Amino acid sequence: MTATIPPLPPALARHLPDPALEAILAHIRRAEEEFAATVAGTTSRGTPYTFGGVRREIAEGLYALVREIRPRRLVETGVCNGASTAVLLTALERNGEGQLDSLDFPEYTDTPYAPGTFWEGKLGAAVPRGKSPGWLVPTPLRRRWRLHLGRSQELLGDLLQGLGSIDFFLHDSEHSYQCQSFEYRLAWQYLRPGGVLASDDISWTPAFAEFAARVGRTPVHLHRKVAYLVK
């Protein structure tokens, strides 16, 4: 039986529908069609390459959340082709403020990698060889975006220390228990009171539920696999 997708909280739902969101979702669909028409094959782990897009209901939730809380400093881990990144940046553009720093350790298609380069549980989301992570992000949105390449375990601490404090954090990188736990703990330290920590794929491991209990916060769900905590 499929679990029911919870409705958006009223404070978020009031930001929808929005023509700006519809436009970026159409842009993402065209990019996904381009990916499907030009990419074939599998990763070195034998997993078919995938676009790594974003479901409409998740895009709506993230967009509305950023519109509602109006964060100034945002950090995202995991970019791939840039679907979620483009949604966040579209919300910032509508808000007229905010800067997004994204970390990504990309896997490129048709590229040999040594065993162990990527987490063994990683699926097939990949960037087409010859393109850059976040390649689908439209040029006008890039003025609010900085991309940092490398593992979050190696870069996130220095990035957060440099920013000093953040208003919004989104985990969407390696979904191992160790990486999720590391990112949640570290981001929470730099999150301002009232700031938001969000995570994709919370059902992959118990890390999100455990962290929510540890900090005494009740998760708010945007989707079965996406939720956030308010500090």
pLDDT, tens only, 171-207: 999 999 999 999 999 999 999 999 999 999 999 999 9
pLDDT, tens only, 85-125: 999 999 999 999 999 999 999 999 999 999 999 999 999 99
pLDDT at residue 1, as a whole number: 38
Helix (H, G, I), strand (E, B) or coil at 13: helix
Confidence of residue 7 (pLDDT cuts 50, 70, 90): confident
Q: In the 8-state DSSP scheme, what is residue 111?
A: -
Long-range contacts of 212-217 (CB under 8 A, 24+ apart): 215/188
Residue 94 is which amino acid? R
Q: Which residues pair with 220 in a beta bridge?
A: 228
Closest-CA residue to 203 (of 229, 221, 182): 221
- The residue extents of the domains of the chain are 10-230
Give me the residue label for tokens 């850059």. Answer: 132
What gap in Å lies between CA 55 and CA 65, rounded to an integer? 15
Q: Tell me what the pLDDT averaged over the chain comes to.
A: 96
Strands (E), the chain: 73-77, 99-104, 145-149, 166-171, 191-199, 220-223, 226-230
Strands (E), 178-225: 191-199, 220-223
Domain spanning 10-230: CATH superfamily: Vaccinia Virus protein VP39 (3.40.50.150)
Helix (H, G, I), strand (E, B) or coil at 50: strand
Residue 202 is which amino acid? I
